[in-house]
Structure 1
Amino acid sequence: MKKYVEILSDIEQQINEGRFASGQKLPSVRNAARMYGCSVNTVSRAYMELEKRHAIYSIAQSGYYVVEKPGSRHNATECKTIDFSASSPDPSLFPYLDFQHCLNKALDTYKYDLFTCGDATGLETLRHTLVSHLAGDQVFAKANQVIVMSGIQPALEILAKMPFPNENSTILVEQPSYDIFLRFLEAERIPVIGIARTASGIDLRELEEKFRQGKIKFFYTMSRYHSPLGTSYSVDERKRIARLASKYDVYVVEDDYMADLGEEPGSDPIYAYDHTSHVVYLKSFSKIIFPGLRLGAAVLPETLLETYLEHKGYADTSQLSQGALEVYIKNGMYERHKRKIASQYALRIQMLNDAVQRHNDAGLLEITKVQFGVYVQFKLPQTVNLERLIERLAARGILVLSGKRFYLSDFLEREKFLRISIARAQQEQIEEGVKGIIEEVRRGRNQTG
């Protein structure tokens, strides 16, 4: 990495973390050169780039200052609500100015081409860029296998409705799982059955039995950073799922929407172990950049491509957004932002784990310690009334989600839990929030007893 890029990244991080506050004067070019051990020209180049990104501004004969962001005078601690319910990224981490630059660059590069409806498969140059990008996650595919989508949900709906080469009709889903997809399957009366997944994993013998006898079209799974559990399959589990899919001609739809939020050892997706083209790989960019982007990618086996595109039918994503994403990935901004948001979330998860260790001394909650992602399962005593608990927490300004919503309506083997998300929980609120949850669980247990 070039020295000026290191300086630029370091100053941006200090601004984002509040060490350089809005309106604060930065070190002079000469002082910064001494600090970073480089020439004044290198620092000047970094400052000029920061000025282009509207992160800082210069005043003649005075120096450089941090741009004041809207609402920056209102400290996050002034917000009394502790939000453990939201799954979308923290707005304070959105790369507004970087992506604005990419939008402008895309307009300059592609001009009027971005204002057409485009192709149903997505912008061709973006798909080629995604081939290289996905290869970094051990997802190797040809450009024609990569379909750009307006998020993962539309891809799931197409896959659920279209016929598969194995001619099976039943969809197998983990329980618990992605609630919006579950509600879609039930509303559309699509044949669906569940298999229990807990923080400890999945019963692979039961999975094999369902693959063997259940006439399963595909198995929908979140192999990494599962919602709502927060856990990931082991390498052995991923390999065995891939082998079972091949053995019984069952497809796997792997929703890897949180793929960029951690660096666990052996974190390759199931797709990396698929040797018979039985895995559909789905990736979202909205969870890392910002929800309004509404862009994702589906990587399909060639045996499914024609049918999938027939059901998709038309382009459903903005050409301008696709062009901007291509620029964002190619110039290294995505990788830099990925590291930034992953480190922020990892810090929050660690703070949550530390708070649980301090306050859960009586073992009221069963909590699997996760290090990456955004979700943690708080498993509750059976004697606690879940609905009343959530109401009492809301009255205290602590927002959480019930685990009930993440199950099929007729699935009986349910665990009683809260899904805790650290995506929007501010660092200074986590300790108070965890303490409040444990206090209310203790109160609910005592009242029931």
Structure 2
Amino acid sequence: MLKYTRLVEDIDQMIQTGEVGAGEKIPSIRTLSATYRCSKSTVLRALHELENKHLIYSIPKSGYYVVHKNFSVQQKHDGVIDFATSAPEWLQFPYQDFQHCINKAIDTYQQDLFIYGTPRGLPSLIQCMEKQLHAYQVFTNLKQIFITSGVQQALHILQLMPFPNRKQHILVEQPSYHLLMEMIDVHQTPVIGIKRSAFGIDLEELERIFREEDIKFFYTMPRFHNPLGTSLSRQEKEHIVRLAKQYDVYLVEDDHLADFEQDAKIDPLFSYDSDDRVIYLKSFSKIMFPGLRIGVAVLPAELVAVFQRFKTIVDIDSSMISQAALEIYLTSGMFSQHKQSIRQPYIRRAERLHHALADGIDYVSKSVSMHTHLVLPRQVNMNQLLKRLDDQNIKLESINENYIKTFERVKMLKINISNVDEERIEEGVQQIVTEINRWA
């Protein structure tokens, strides 16, 4: 038996028998290397496999610990290929590392966490976030950074607050983020839609709307659009920024999947803005976990005071404990390590999805993302298609909820691989293609 295999089996056995209990530290890399007379790289390989099985977790500069299992594990249905769920599988979240950060935050900040904070957020987290934003090519003043209760809170405030251009309408890509569409409907916000497809946005139509309508701000997802999965080119971004300046329109950039970008040369819309027109929004729900409810908003200087006033009315401040834990998670290096570990499996899945679709159907998207879309032939009955696929344990959704009510819908399926086993992506895509072709 290989020493690596023996290491994995022996540590697994130690955990299963309770020889090393939940939360306890396992022997060090040095000790295991000496005990099994093998290299440290062999030990690390075994430990990484045990981490992937969610049996142990690492704490930088401390060691490896046994994962607590005193929670209810909800098993996925073995036969289901779930292309509908957008939230990552919960076992991929850094729950144990973050629990450590929460405990550390309580010890470090103590009573500061149990009083009202500031509307802008925990000052030390803002300082940390200012440096973190550099990784996304967002360089800004500390005074322009707000910590929000997710991106949704920032969007809620931006909808309600007045802007210096004194305009009323919001322009949104169609389709777009479904919860924003619902928010617009609930508040009866004056809204105009502009079509976004795999080929981008009609920039001439965008200019016409900017010129003829009173657009307060334009909400856009230049990178890995939800639900299309596509990204805008550098030329498109530069053109949109120029139009915003020319017609006195603000741009709200939702960069929720920035952490999954593979090309370091691709910059956000914000980086092309020299006129303080772009409001940059970033969430940590996809890379960490949705329940964290921490987002960051970078605002033009002239919007800071009114945004702060509205935010104070909404909730005074965001969760201080979550903010303090996130700060420790970022500064400790845990976030960087987690991002690297979770990115590669997603990139592999996205590439498999891209190739499977390209091989099986007329597919035009050039973006490799964890989600994408398929435009269906007019003759396809959406409800019947979804029902037939559901009968075959293939879970999919249409994008009807991603439109404002008055905008003409395109018949599309959104496909997300966040909860699909990598080995079953091709199988699921083939079943989808087979069912679509029945309507040809």
Pick closer, same or farther for the CA change 1:35–1:68 going to 2, 3 Å: farther
Question: Contact 2:67–2:96 at 8 Å: present in 1 too?
Answer: no
Distance, in Å, in 2 between the alignment partners of 1:309 and 1:73 is 40
What are the Cα deviations for residues 32-80 of structure 1, in whole angstroms up to 9, with x where unaligned?
Answer: 8853469x9xx8xx99xx9xx98279xxxxxx9975857999986x621
* Code of the aligned partner of 2:423: E
Question: Contact 1:367–1:377 at 8 Å: present in 2 too?
Answer: no
What are the Cα deviations for residues 6-37 of structure 1, in whole angstroms up to 9, with x where unaligned?
Answer: xxxxx9xx9xxxx8898267993237885346
- Show the counterpart of 2:428: 433
Corresponding residue SS for 2:153: helix
What are the Cα deviations for residues 338-371 of structure 1, in whole angstroms up to 9, with x where unaligned?
Answer: 122221111111121233244x1xx3x5352422
Instruction: Give 1:116 shift.
Output: 1.5
Q: Is residue 2:381 matched to residue 1:380? A: no
> What does 1:246-285 correspond to in 2, within 5 Å?
246-285=245-284
Instruction: Give 1:117 shift.
Output: 2.4
Distance, in Å, in 2 between the alignment partners of 1:282 and 1:67 is 33
> Cα RMSD between the aligned structures?
3.0
- Show the counterpart of 1:154: 153
Distance, in Å, in 2 between the alignment partners of 1:72 and 1:344 is 25
Corresponding residue SS for 1:366: coil
Moved more, 19-28 or 169-178: 19-28
- Show the counterpart of 2:385: 389
Pick closer, same or farther for the CA change 1:293–1:72 going to 2, 3 Å: closer
- Show the counterpart of 1:368: 365
Distance, in Å, in 1 between the alignment partners of 2:175 and 2:79 is 31
Which of 14, 23, 36 is matched with 2:12 structurally?
23
Question: Contact 2:120–2:317 at 8 Å: present in 1 too?
Answer: no
What are the Cα deviations for residues 172-208 of structure 1, in whole angstroms up to 9, with x where unaligned?
Answer: 0001101111121122111100111111111111111
- Show the counterpart of 1:415: 410
Distance, in Å, in 2 between the alignment partners of 1:21 and 1:238 is 54
- Show the counterpart of 1:348: 349
Q: Is residue 2:202 matched to residue 1:206? A: no
Give the fraction of aligned pairs with identical amino acids, expressed as a percent: 43
Pick closer, same or farther for the CA change 1:269–1:33 going to 2, 3 Å: farther
Pick closer, same or farther for the CA change 1:32–1:165 going to 2, 3 Å: farther
Moved more, 264-273 or 415-424: 264-273
Pick closer, same or farther for the CA change 1:344–1:32 going to 2, 3 Å: farther
Corresponding residue SS for 1:197: strand
> What does 1:118-157 correspond to in 2, within 5 Å?
118-157=117-156
Corresponding residue SS for 1:88: coil
> What does 1:5-404 correspond to in 2, within 5 Å?
23=12, 28-30=32-34, 34-36=38-40, 55=56, 79-313=78-312, 314-358=315-359, 360=360, 363=361, 365-372=362-369, 374-404=370-400
Corresponding residue SS for 2:87: coil
- Show the counterpart of 1:5: none
Distance, in Å, in 2 between the alignment partners of 1:263 and 1:120 is 34
* Code of the aligned partner of 2:367: V
Distance, in Å, in 1 between the alignment partners of 2:207 and 2:342 is 37
* Code of the aligned partner of 2:339: K
Question: Contact 1:254–1:270 at 8 Å: present in 2 too?
Answer: yes
* Code of the aligned partner of 1:428: E
Instruction: Give 1:324 shift.
Output: 0.4
* Code of the aligned partner of 1:305: V
- Show the counterpart of 1:60: none
Question: Contact 1:261–1:342 at 8 Å: present in 2 too?
Answer: yes
Distance, in Å, in 2 between the alignment partners of 1:240 and 1:132 is 28
* Code of the aligned partner of 1:407: Y
What are the Cα deviations for residues 110-164 of structure 1, in whole angstroms up to 9, with x where unaligned?
Answer: 1111111211111010001000110221111122211111101111011011110
* Code of the aligned partner of 1:389: L
- Show the counterpart of 2:21: none
Distance, in Å, in 1 between the alignment partners of 2:75 and 2:319 is 35
Instruction: Give 1:383 shift.
Output: 1.0
* Code of the aligned partner of 2:81: I
Pick closer, same or farther for the CA change 1:410–1:37 going to 2, 3 Å: closer
* Code of the aligned partner of 1:420: I
Distance, in Å, in 2 between the alignment partners of 1:124 and 1:301 is 19
What are the Cα deviations for residues 268-291 of structure 1, in whole angstroms up to 9, with x where unaligned?
Answer: 111111111111000001221111
Distance, in Å, in 1 between the alignment partners of 2:405 and 2:11 is 49
- Show the counterpart of 2:23: none
Distance, in Å, in 1 between the alignment partners of 2:65 and 2:247 is 63
Question: Contact 2:177–2:402 at 8 Å: present in 1 too?
Answer: yes
Pick closer, same or farther for the CA change 1:316–1:72 going to 2, 3 Å: closer
Distance, in Å, in 2 between the alignment partners of 1:345 and 1:403 is 22
Distance, in Å, in 2 between the alignment partners of 1:369 and 1:435 is 20
Pick closer, same or farther for the CA change 1:252–1:20 going to 2, 3 Å: farther
Corresponding residue SS for 1:104: helix
Q: Structure 1 length normalisation: TM-score?
A: 0.83
What are the Cα deviations for residues 326-348 of structure 1, in whole angstroms up to 9, with x where unaligned?
Answer: 00011111111112222111111
Distance, in Å, in 1 between the alignment partners of 2:294 and 2:36 is 39
* Code of the aligned partner of 2:274: H
Q: Structure 2 length normalisation: TM-score?
A: 0.85
Unaligned runs of 5+ in 1: 1-10, 58-63
Pick closer, same or farther for the CA change 1:133–1:410 going to 2, 3 Å: same
Instruction: Give 1:316 shift.
Output: 4.1
Distance, in Å, in 2 between the alignment partners of 1:218 and 1:32 is 63
Distance, in Å, in 1 between the alignment partners of 2:182 and 2:35 is 59
Moved more, 25-34 or 316-325: 25-34
Distance, in Å, in 2 between the alignment partners of 1:56 and 1:266 is 33
Q: Report how many aligned residue pairs link the two structures.
A: 407
Distance, in Å, in 2 between the alignment partners of 1:21 and 1:396 is 40
Corresponding residue SS for 2:130: helix
